[in-house]
Chains A and B, each alone.
Chain A
């Protein structure tokens, strides 16, 4: 660790960094940040910085609680935007004053599951396709967002802000150590997709968090506004965040089966069976907002049932066909998550569910051959999803009661808030009729 620390202190000095942002993640996956001047950096690395732990618990704070944010020097990175006044960031682990991990920290919850997996000799690799919209600067709260283009799928004409924007974003991401595999214009107007190259789960969760900031920053610089809201436009597809999951034992992809026409190894089948068996109770995490369910409700290839397929477009899980001899490519693609999720909790629970599938030898259900219809129905709305999550023994065992309770409190409050809201739907449907 001393090497890391020396690197951080020396780089700050050599590069003339003025402030360091300490990043931590609240229970909803929202990035919290506070800046410290570099003069405080040495002691922050040594002792951490005190903060109120209830700030990690979203809008429904359980109680005040003093905690320590301890920066992780391995994540020190100069931010590529605002080159005129250099700022760097570090992710923090949040601890109790006695040094024990704080139960409300989702980043550490993921680390715990990774430790378990590593004890079994496994590491999970994750690739990620993030969709999002960029709009003209937002009007007053509630106004319809304005699209910037009418770009069609794979339309790479230089006429839209879109390609400038993507270039700038990708540049930022690569400078932040987040390699991009591909990027293109998505189906809906103003919608984009960027694919992040696979990496270990913790790096991916950090990358998604960083990604959301970098995208918003790049959009802002071009006079636009980026949003990861799952379903901003009623008549167009929403934004998903498909996850490509594989499991390695050392150098070997544990999902790979050399036999022809076998989509996944026995380990892979059990892992996937675990993910499918717990898919409903984990929906509150893969799809955590009321708005998330409007994406799932309207088709456009968003999954509605617990199913897997090699070919169909709308199942919850797709197992891509392998190129012969490419063992490292064996994986499955989970299609329910959206980009507004808490990636730490999502990846922790997917891994925990998969490991349970392996441990208990779950049988994989039959492949769904037609469009999706068969299979258990996914929760229809946040209320149903939250009830299932609240009662999930897997979630409580994996994340701990403190995280689950804080999460559920937030979600129940969101459901109640919506229940009390009179919407445009009410007025247009009922005002004249009734």
Chain B
């Protein structure tokens, strides 16, 4: 189940219910300027939702800027929900990756989420990521190339998923270790190189080169 983090108080309970119905695991972030829910684990959520009505400190603009600048949360898709009254003064309209205007239906929320995830992470509405002949099904953990299944171990899969859904950005080994592995590994920082090698070998010639080595920095996924 993917986490969705909710910022802002007004309408938070209703939003939690809606997101849960859409299959997300909603978590509220306290309105005291923190970026993460309490009892936080370090893994970034699939989605951030800002309820801009009544949001003052920090403002919607400031919150979006801080999310974008955060090492771990920088490429989380952000949806901003505004009351229709706020449209006229334009505050928050340009923020985030997708805009929601209250009142909205569950179907509209789902569609907006799908658009944001598609734009930011390349994830299609059916939880699939498609890059040429490579298909990843994030709901079932299955990967196929030209329709033929490719069998990954869990960590190989998680690494590939992370890279594929964060295209074009360079990640250091350290960042990949923290965000993909957590703290459950024996290999030290070399673990990342070793896993990249394994994933490339399994991807085969057509896709292996999409994982670019950025010398003395880290790795980057090039989807197109």
Instruction: Show the binding face of A for B, using Cβ within 8 Å.
Output: 3-4, 6-8, 10-11, 14-15, 73-78, 80, 111, 114, 118, 123, 125, 174-175, 177-179, 197-203, 248, 250-251
Contacts and interface: CB of A to CB of B under 8 A. Distances in A.
Contacts of B155: 74
B201 A174 contact: yes
B153 A175 contact: no
A339 to B, nearest CB: 21
B142 A123 contact: no
Contacts of A118: 186, 188
A177 B156 contact: yes
Given A3-B154, A179-B197, A250 B202 contact: no
A3 B158 CA distance: 10
A10 B191 CA distance: 25
B32 to A, nearest CB: 30
A203 B62 CA distance: 45
11 contacts: A4-B154, A7-B157, A14-B142, A15-B142, A74-B154, A123-B186, A177-B153, A179-B201, A200-B185, A200-B186, A251-B188
Given A199-B187, A203-B187, 20 more contacts: A4-B154, A7-B157, A11-B141, A11-B151, A15-B149, A74-B153, A74-B154, A78-B151, A118-B188, A123-B188, A177-B152, A179-B197, A197-B197, A198-B190, A199-B190, A202-B186, A203-B194, A250-B188, A251-B189, A251-B190
Contact of B173 (A75, A111, A175, A251): A251
A15 B152 CA distance: 12
A197 B200 CA distance: 13
A75 B189 CA distance: 19
A76 B153 contact: yes
A373 to B, nearest CB: 37
Contacts of B140: 10, 14
B190 A123 contact: yes
A76 B154 contact: yes
B198 interface: yes
A174 B194 contact: no
A251 B156 CA distance: 20
Interface size bracket, B side: 20 to 34
Contacts of A203: 186-187, 194
Contact of A123 (B158, B187, B197): B187
Contacts of A8: 154
B154 A200 contact: no
A203 B192 CA distance: 13
A78 B142 CA distance: 12
The DSSP consensus for interface residues of chain A is: helix
A393 to B, nearest CB: 26
Contacts of A125: 187, 190
A178 B201 CA distance: 9
A73 B184 CA distance: 13
Given A10-B140, A179-B201, A248 B190 contact: yes
Contacts of B185: 200
Contact of A250 (B157, B184, B189, B198): B189
B153 A77 contact: yes
A73 B175 CA distance: 24
Give the interface centre of B156, B188, B191 by most chain A CB atoms within 10 Å.
B188
A199 B187 CA distance: 7
Contacts of B152: 177
Counting chain B CB atoms within 10 Å of each CB, the highest count among A80, A114, A203 belongs to A203
Contacts of B157: 7
A73 B186 contact: no
Contacts of B194: 197-200, 203
A248 B152 CA distance: 27
Contacts of A200: 185-188, 190-191, 194
A315 B88 CA distance: 81
Which 3 residue pairs across A and B have the least CB separation, nearest first? A200-B187, A123-B188, A78-B151
A75 B157 CA distance: 12
Contacts of A199: 187, 190, 194
A179 B201 CA distance: 7
Contacts of B184: 74
Nearest to A11: B141
A179 B202 CA distance: 9
Contacts of B151: 11, 15, 77-78, 80, 175
Contacts of A201: 186
Nearest to A73: B154
